[in-house]
Amino acid sequence: MKKGEVSVFPWTIIGVVIAVILVVATWRYGAGLFAPLIDDPAANVHSQQQFAVFVEKLQGLKDGERFSKLYGVGSGYVVVGFLKGKGMLGGEMCRVGGKQVDVEEIFKPKECGQDACLCLCRGGLAGCEEQGGYFCQQLDFDVRDDLNSCGYLIIEDWQGNVYVRREQNLVYVNLEKGGKGSA
């Protein structure tokens, strides 16, 4: 190397290192930024965490308040609202979404006692009766679906908006517009 010349080699190495650092930083930031768009939305749909967030939002409602939320229950899971003072639901024909449905007789989990409660059950409605097959939250209000002629809240194998409204000691949850939950 002649006097006054600058070696290109060290500057090349520094440039490559800086480029690698920028590419890694951009990739990590971009993955975090776009994760909600590229992750599978159904992956966490029936988790206890999502259920607990939904129940917490219900418990925070004051009389007359309403909200709608994207929520779903994955295949093999069901959300069931058990009414205060009733030890079971079902055992009757109900009109749901324009069709007659025979609602299975299902007993309220013992942990609920005489209180109203909302349960996430694994294995369909039968999972609500199996020890360890459910996760329940006691409520100080009843939860109903007034678009179901029997009034039971049963969300099974479904994803979409839920429409919710509180009226005194009753919370209406509807899976489609038209009920008191969406009024």
Other C-beta atoms lying within 10 Å of the C-beta of residue 80: 26
pTM of this structure: 0.68
State the Cα–Cα distance between residues 175 and 157, nearest whole angstrom. 12
Please, what is the average pLDDT of the chain? 78
Higher pLDDT: 144 or 125? It is: 144
Q: What mean pLDDT comes out for the span 88-107?
A: 76
Q: Where are the domains positioned within the chain?
A: 1-39, 48-174
Q: What percent of the chain has pLDDT over 90?
A: 4
* Count of residues in the chain: 183
Residue 117: the pLDDT is 92
**pLDDT surpassing 80 at residue 3:** no
State the Cα–Cα distance between residues 154 and 20, nearest whole angstrom. 53
Other C-beta atoms lying within 10 Å of the C-beta of residue 83: 20
**pLDDT surpassing 60 at residue 58:** yes
Q: What mean pLDDT comes out for the span 9-24?
A: 81
Evaluate whether 167 touches 142 at the Cβ level (below 8 Å). no
Residue 138: the pLDDT is 92
Q: In this structure, what DSSP letter does residue 118 have?
A: E
**pLDDT surpassing 50 at residue 37:** no
